[in-house]
Every structure is written in C-alpha cells, then in structure tokens.
Amino acid sequence: MPSLLVVILAGNPVTAIACLNMQDATTLRRLHPAVAAAVEGVPWNEESTKVRDVVRWRAALPGAVGAALWRLAGASAALLAGVTSLDLTECGDVSGPTLMTLPPSLRAVKVITRKAGNLVHLKKLTSLACSHMAAKVWCYPPSLQELRIDCCRLKEPADFSHLRVLRKLSLTATKYIPPRTIATLPPSLEELDLSETGPEWYWHADASLARLTRLRVFRAVSGPLYDAMLASLPPSLVELHAADSTRLTPAASFAHLPALRTLDVTDCGIGDTSLASLPPSLVELTAARCKNITSAAMLPHLPALRALDVSGSGVGDVFVASLPAALQDLCIVDCAGITAGATFDHLPALRELQSSGTDLSAATLAACHARGCTAPAKQEYLWRRKSTGDTLRWSPGERP
C-alpha cells in the first residue's frame, strides 16, 4: 500500500520519495494540508540539508530521524527523541556535557569536540566519528561497529577490548597511541586505518596484528609499518595501502597474504625480493618510486593482475617481459631502465600505457596503438580522473 504522500503526488516510491529531500519537504508542506500531514510522517534522514533551527525543524518534520544540525541551541533530549542519526560537525566544538544529553535512540553520530563526554548511554550507537578530542575509549558503548577518532589523543587506559563487535576503526593522525593499545584491538576488526601518524607514534618495530584474523583492509599511509608488522598481517587481508611507509626494507615479503588484491607501496623501501613474493591473487599494484627495485626485478606469476604502476623505479626490459597477459593498465613513467628493446606483444589485453621517460621505440608504441591501446607519445603524460572517467593529457611541467 503506497504512502499517502506517494498517492497525492501521483507517483511511485522511487520518484516521489527517493528523489525528495527535507528542503523539498519545506515547499511541499505549503501545497495543501493533506500534503503537509503526509510530509510530517516521512522518516527523513539526510545530511545534505543543514538544519539551522532545531525547534522549527522538529515542529515541521516530526517524523524525521536524522539530519545535519547547524547549531544545537534548543536541542533538548526530549526534542531529539527518536532521532537515529546526527551530523554535528557544523556545530563547532560540542561540549562533553552536551554529548551526554544526546538521545539514546541514536545509531550514528558525527561530531567535533575537544573534550569527550561519556557516551555509554547510547546503547544503540553503531557508528561514531569524532575528531580533535581527548578520546576516552572506555566511554564508548560496546554496540559500536564503526569508530573514527582521527586527529585525537587517546587517554589512558586506551583499551578497545570491550568493543567486541567493532568492524571498522580509524585512528589517522592520532597524536599519541600507547604501544600496548594494539594488543587490545578486538579480533572482530575488518578495516583498520593507522595512516599519517606523526613523530609521537610510540610503536615497537615488532608490533603484531596477527590476532586480527578477520582484517580485510589495512591502511598505514605514512604510518608505522615495519617488516615485522607486515609479516604479522593475517592471511584474510584483501587491501593494503602502505604508501610512504619508509620503514619497509628490500626484504619485506607479501607471500603470507594469499587473498591480497590491492597493494599500494608507493615511496617505500621494498625491493626485487619483495616483488617476487607477491601472491597470485593480486589485481592492482602500485609500487611507484620504490628506489630499491632494480633492473633485475621480475614479477612472479600474477594471472589476476589488471593494473600496475612502477613509475620512477629501476625496472627494465626483463621486468616488462615478465608482465602477465591479462594486464590492462600499465604506468612505467620515468623508468629509465626500459629500453627500445622492450615490447608489449605478450600483453593482448593492454588498454592504457603511460611510458614517458622511457626509451620505448616508435614502432613499439605504434604496435600498441594498432591493438587499441592508448599510448601517449614519449613526452606526453596521461591521467585518468577515476571519479568521472575523463582522460586528460599534458606535457612535462604542465601537470594539472
């Protein structure tokens, strides 16, 4: 049975509800009393429309269950009763006492605060994103499944063990994390982000993540990744983003990660041995500007590899000859070790080649063109905007 609002607008649930937002609802309420009544009962939940007056918002849309609030003035617990999602990032620095007055119906909260309040009363809370705070982990409810506490300082004891259903945890740019905190991370974690940690990161080089047996995504961009920590990653890992992890050495190995599909080790210290250890499951590899990769480097058998970027590394013709036949996107910009003797006839699926800064012959590039591969001239770079699929070209010194 379609809702009254759908009937009144002579539409269906897709066109009449999914395509409308709370700003539209403000206009719809003026059409007719029947429309106003129908609009009031819709469980609006969105962050695209900023609510400046909480009192008027609740009076106009009492059925709303979520919003992005511009200010909290007048937002009493009774007024927000039944709300399940709140984005408070536009409210500035929300005080700890104010956080403790949030309604227990909340399931998701985004907030910026300097002083953390006790949130254990939010027993239904599954998602919390907060920043610029002194985070008190023991004040978070055990119902949390997603937790972002970026740019924060963890207050001791920083123990996550009570968050037994936590699946996603982000601690990026966190100022200080006690070394023993890693041992309290719950085994339920599937995604962990420890990127952009500064000089105050106190980790031991042999810190282990082995207990996170469900971990699928690990981000340690400019983070604390050592060879030993890499070796401790569980075999369940699917994505590893470790660009600028300068503590990795040429001896770093990935052989223990049989499910790995995406690997980014840009500007890392890995070497030829590391490449030889890559698992056959790999689909996308970014190893640009890895200075310890030499002209002797070869890839192992990687039948699933579709995208590869080794720009600015020391790879040569031997490496090109070892590339798998299924490869579709290849970036070898500024790889001076690749000479005119290199060919790509063994790569029938290749659709995009970026090779500026190499000595590839004109005949080789022409052969790629003939097979339908996009291969810019030597002094032209190619960049694809992933969000739109647009392809842009520019000459050296003109990068957008």
Amino acid at 53: D
pLDDT for the residue numbered 299: 96
User: What are the extents of the domains in the chain?
Assistant: 1-42, 45-202
Separation of alpha carbons 55 and 35, rounded Å = 21
Counting Cβ atoms within 10 Å, is residue 190 exposed (0-12), middle (13-18) or buried (19+)? middle
pLDDT for the residue numbered 319: 97
pLDDT for the residue numbered 200: 42
Distances from the Cα of 253 to the Cα of 65, 71, 153, 276, 278, angstroms: 48, 51, 32, 8, 8
Beta carbons of 51 and 70 less than 8 angstroms apart: yes
Q: What is the pLDDT of residues 70-83, one digit of tens each?
A: 877 667 778 888 89
pLDDT for the residue numbered 210: 93
Strands, E, within 52-163: which ranges?
66-69, 85-87, 108-112, 127-131, 134-135, 146-150, 153-154
pLDDT for the residue numbered 215: 98
Superfamily of domain 45-202 in CATH is Ribonuclease Inhibitor (3.80.10.10)
Q: What is the pLDDT of residues 181-240, one digit of tens each?
A: 888 999 999 999 999 875 444 455 567 899 999 999 999 998 878 899 999 999 999 999
Beta carbons of 83 and 64 less than 8 angstroms apart: yes
For residue 160 the two structure tokens come to 């996550």
Phi, psi of 234 (to 5 degrees): -75, 155
SS3 content of the chain, % helix, strand, coil (to 5): 20, 20, 65
Stated pTM of the model: 0.83
Low-confidence ranges of the chain (pLDDT < 50): 1-2, 12-15, 199-202, 379-400
Counting Cβ atoms within 10 Å, is residue 372 exposed (0-12), middle (13-18) or buried (19+)? exposed
pLDDT for the residue numbered 309: 97
Beta carbons of 17 and 42 less than 8 angstroms apart: yes
pLDDT for the residue numbered 216: 98
Cβ partners under 8 Å of residue 40, min gap 6: 29, 60, 61, 62, 63
pLDDT for the residue numbered 377: 62
Backbone φ/ψ region at 347: left (φ over 0), alpha (ψ -120 to 50), beta: beta
Separation of alpha carbons 240 and 256, rounded Å = 13
